[in-house]
Structure 1
Amino acid sequence: MFGFEDMGKFFLSLFLVLPVVTIIHQSGHLFFAKLLGCHVDIHIGTGKTLCKVGPFCIRKVYFVDGWCEYKELHHKKNGKVKKVLIFLGGSIFNISTIFLVNGLILQGTLNPSIILYQFVYFSVYYVFFSLFPAQFVDGCPSDGKAVLNIIFNKPLEKDPIN
């Protein structure tokens, strides 16, 4: 049962764990974009920009959402496989950290805790909803929808790769 004594864990999870999972996810997109010669700006949160550090733009409501601003992804030199890797990069990083955390717990390097449980939970959540093929209200596709779009050459209204 969720009680008043759980509020500290809730706020820690909301204001620290979820943003870390978001940063890991967006870093996956950034990693593959850089590796494959593309440019991506990362936006952590929503609302007014607080600061920009390299490709990372931290916004006022940093614990809600995260997204990539793809640039140079439309060039002919960027084939389907490269684009698919960039869109799957976030989920690849999240899945990798899930295995890493669970592996370190199994080895006894990390002790199981509610924070690590929440980290894995939010990582699974992120992977599921980013790969679920959906088009958002603003017309942008989820990572899964973008991958299907690339594979089947079906452009969307606000597809960042066209």
Structure 2
Amino acid sequence: MFGLKDLIGLIISCFIILPVVTFIRETGYFIISGLLGAKNPRLTIGSGPRFFKFKFIDIRRYYHVYSWFSFDFIKAKSKFAYISIYAGPILINAAVALVINALLANDFFEDSKTFWNRFIFYVFYFVLFDAIPMKTVNGKPNNGMIIYELLRYGKRIDYNEDPIIPGTTEAEEEYQKEVEKMKEIKWKEVEEEETFYTDKKG
């Protein structure tokens, strides 16, 4: 039976564990691409309007599971380099899960064992989702499919022109356009409200 304890566990999973695991996954891209000479890397956490930006970290106002990594280009342009980048999220999540699992097996975190077991569950969920080759939204290949295609054919063969890892400059331009649209909508709402009250008084 789903009770209060389960509800609390669900809230913790949705608003603490999932965002943290997602962030760890994105750092896999960041670390590997950084080693390969990525230019203009950025870790975006959350969605919606920007809360603040500091160097390569971009924090958005709506904190949730949505985080992503971008860069403009990398110096090392080889099949091995791209395989390494797409393998980054899989490797970092697997490493984190195995370390925590080993600590739990050696009686660490006894007081918070349920939390860490749940944490490992979500980490391995992302590992499986990334590692098993499959097509996702709009026919986009996941990391496992890209790695498979690179190993077998030496290139992506999915014919999807959208980049799996977006360019930071393009992403920033898109964001600025969205900000302008939001401002326009807000001003229209203010103008309509003022017109409504003016008409009402008249």
Shorter-chain TM-score tier: 0.7 to 0.9
Q: 1:136–1:142: 8 Å Cα contact kept in structure 2?
A: no
2: CA distance between counterparts of 1:24 and 1:99? 14
Gap runs ≥5 in structure 1: none
- Asked if structure 2 preserves the Cα contact closer than 8 Å seen for 1:88 and 1:143, the reply is yes
Match of 2:45 in 1: 44
Equivalent position of 2:105 in the other structure: 106
Normalising to structure 2: TM-score of the pair? 0.69
Q: How many residues align?
A: 159
Cα deviation per residue 1:111-150 (whole Å; 9 max; x = unaligned)? 262210111111011112223432423x654222332343
TM-score (norm 1): 0.83
The DSSP-based 3-state class of the residue aligned with 1:78 is coil
Q: SS of the counterpart of 1:67?
A: strand
Matching residue's letter, 1:6? D
1:87 maps to 2:86: yes
8 Å Cα contact 2:23-2:45 kept in structure 1: yes
Tell me which residue corresponds to 1:78. Answer: 77
Tell me: higher relative CO, structure 1 or 2? Use CA pairs within 8 A at least 6 residues apart.
1
Counterpart contact for 1:87–1:146, Cα < 8 Å: yes
Unaligned runs of 5+ in 2: 166-202
Contact 1:140 1:157 in 2 (8 A): no
Quote the sequence identity (%). Answer: 25
Q: Which amino acid aligns with 1:11?
A: I
Question: Structure 1: which 4+ aligned runs deviate by more than 4 Å?
Answer: none
| Superposition deviation, residue 9 in structure 1 | 2.1
Q: Distance in 2 between matches of 1:70 and 1:150?
A: 20
Q: Distance in 1 between matches of 2:120 and 2:137?
A: 25
The reply on whether 1:97 has 2:101 as its aligned counterpart is no
Give the Cα–Cα distance (whole angstroms) in 1 for the partners of residues 29 and 35 of structure 2: 10
Partner secondary structure for residue 137 of structure 2: coil
Aligned to 1:14: 14
